[in-house]
Amino acid sequence: MALNKKIPVNLFVNRLLAIGCLLCLTLSVLANGLTRQGYKQSVTTVDASMPFVSAEGQFSIALPQNVSSAGPLTSKTPTRSLSGMAFTWRMTEGQFGVTFADGNPPIDQASAQQVLNEVHDAVLTQAKSADGSLLKDEPLQTPYSGDELRFSLPQSVAVFRIFVIGNRVYQVLLNIPNDQSAQLDVALKTMDTFKVISPAEAAAISKKRIADATPSPLPQKSSVRKAVTDAQDQGLKGKVKTVAVEDEDLTGRASVKRKPTITYNFNDEGNLTRKDLYDYRGNLFQITVYGYIDGNRVENSGIVRHEYDPPPAVATSASSKADTRYNLLHKYKYNEKGRFTEDVSFHNDGKLASRHLFNYKGNEVEELVYSGDGTLNQKYVNVLGDNGEIKEHRTFDPKTDAIRDTIFCSYEYDAKGNWIKRTDSRLVTTDGNTQQQPASVFYRMITYY
């Protein structure tokens, strides 16, 4: 059933990705031949009571907690764009994958079958063009309506299961080498464990992950205080309680157009008590609390693990000299004008972690960041406006001192004089004309005491 006009397998993968078959990325192994080097775990050893769970994707499957690869995906069908995530697992039986992607415009009940048909037909057409022979094309007999397609490819058998559930397209894929064909039934049983979880279940999972990662609050009272409050260091005016920052991509390259990036919490004295950082998906990934221990400014951090994160690094044994009450200790310096000039941080065993220096010259501030071994690894120069706001931000190569990037900033302000919208632009040359072109927008939602 293969077509006479063949498409190289790697091109086949790219075409499928381009028109909606998001999960076919796992077939890219065919371009270099199938190998199971390093595939040490069998699906038969996975504890079905502890399946992989994606809170964002709202699904589970009896595969290992640590994925082999994960990343964002965007694609298009003839009627809409799709964006979501893909996960793959390399097992001794072969490769498994799951993707989820939401439709824009949204998929409703009236269009669900059409979207299913579009993805189905894309898989069918392109698999045949890659010298694939169709073995099976049937509606799925599972709790979820959809289609299953099975192909014989030059070095493997590929199984696609496609579901459209609400506004989401799910795909579950198996790519099993020919020399592992005896394990096909075992592998198919793993595919059978795919389950969609409810929004409430997903929310509960996310809530528990955050709770488990959140450090306990640190003491806020100390006889030794910073010369300037944290809020003042950030140029904030008034009695600020919280600052929540979101960024919006204007280039079209980001997988999530607008998402949270960072949130600050200040006490009524203007000192930072907590900082939340968000990842490229807009999900909370790091929680840091601040306080004082033995008169020193310290912090503790916790990491929120997400299903798409790489496996955590192997933990090293703590030094006997480590003070387990905190992760980092900070030492600050200010100049005679009350400007922040230095932040030296130490690990809880006393070893130098990093050193931030701020050098002021006129309306410019040079920021230098050194690692614990004394190596300069970051350099920036900010050009400040009349109110201390950043008007121009330059990033330098720390080795060559060449300018890597220049950003120009414009602002909108609230009644207190704090900026609430910042537009970042870059210089773009078109037909010989150079002008500033907006690249991103930052929004600050500020609350006050």
408 and 344 together in one domain: yes
Of 162, 197, 232, the position where a domain reaches its end is: 197
Identify whether 205 is part of a domain: no
CATH number for position 143: 3.40.1000.10
Nearest to 263 by CA among 291, 281, 283: 283
> Is 311's pLDDT higher than 70?
yes
pLDDT at 16 over 50: no
| Residues whose CB is less than 8 angstroms from the CB of residue 109 and which lie 6 or more positions away in sequence, other chains included | none
Query: Average pLDDT, stretch 79-108?
Result: 92
Mean pLDDT score, 372-386: 96
pLDDT band per the 50, 70, 90 thresholds, residue 314: low
Structural domain count, the chain = 2
Residues 296 and 406 in one domain: yes
Rounded distance between C-alpha atoms, residue 392 and residue 411, angstroms: 12
Q: Partners of 52 in the beta sheet?
A: 61
Identify whether the C-beta of residue 161 lies closer than 8 Å to the C-beta of residue 188: no
Q: Is the N-terminal amide bond of 105 cis, ω within 30° of 0?
A: yes
Percent of the chain with pLDDT over 70: 90
C-beta of residue 51 within 8 angstroms of C-beta of residue 194: no
Pair (123, 227) in one structural domain: no
Mean pLDDT comparison of 130-139, 215-224, 373-382, highest-scoring range = 373-382
Percent share of the chain, pLDDT over 90: 69
| Least-confidence region, from 14-23, 161-170, 227-236, 293-302 | 14-23
Is residue 10's pLDDT more than 50?
Answer: no
Q: Does some domain include residue 443?
A: yes
Within-domain flag for 3? no
Mean pLDDT of the chain: 88
Dist. CA 70–CA 64, nearest whole Å: 13
Residues 49 and 82 in one domain: yes
Over residues 225-236, mean pLDDT: 89
What mean pLDDT is predicted for residues 186-198? 96
Of residues 31 and 83, more confidence is placed in 83
Q: Is the pLDDT confidence value at 315 over 60?
A: yes
Examine residue 203 and state whether it is found in any structural domain, yes or no. Answer: no
Same domain, 236 and 189: no
Confirm whether 396 is domain-assigned: yes
Q: Evaluate whether residue 119 is within a structural domain.
A: yes
| CATH number of the domain that residue 439 is part of | 2.40.160
Q: Model-level pTM? A: 0.82
Do residue 85 and residue 172 come from a single domain?
yes
For the cut 90, the answer to whether the pLDDT of residue 423 exceeds it is yes
> Can you name the residues that pair with 59 across neighbouring β-strands?
54, 196
Pair (284, 383) in one structural domain: yes
* 273 and 305 part of one domain: yes
Residues 143 and 270 in one domain: no
24 pLDDT tier (thresholds 50, 70, 90): very low
Residue with the bigger pLDDT between 413 and 126: it is: 413
What is the pLDDT, as a whole number, of residue 316? 65
For residue 323, the SS3 value is coil
Prior bond of 311 cis (ω within 30°): no
Average pLDDT over residues 346-373: 96
Among the candidates 146, 164, 197, a domain finishes at 197
Confidence at residue 39, expressed as pLDDT on a 0 to 100 scale: 61
Note whether 138 and 257 are same-domain residues. Answer: no
**Pick from 10-24, 49-63, 392-406: least confident:** 10-24
C-alpha torsion angle, residues 73, 74, 76, 81 (rounded to 10): 130
Residue-wise burial string across 315-327, b where 16 or more C-beta atoms lie within 10 A, e elsewhere: eeeeeeeebeebb
Residue-range definition of the domain harbouring residue 407: 215-312+319-448
**Burial category of 149 from C-beta neighbours within 10 Å (exposed 0-12, middle 13-18, buried 19 and up):** buried
Rounded distance between C-alpha atoms, residue 286 and residue 333, angstroms: 26
Q: Are residues 152 and 291 in the same domain?
A: no
The residue to which tokens 């082999």 are assigned: 68
Flag whether 162 is in a domain: yes
Does a structural domain hold residue 277? yes
d(CA 203, CA 209): 10
Q: Last residue of some domain: 142, 168, 197?
A: 197
Asked whether 154 and 6 are in contact (CB, 8 A), the reply is no
250 and 353 fall within a common domain: yes
Tell me, what's the pLDDT at 259? Answer: 96
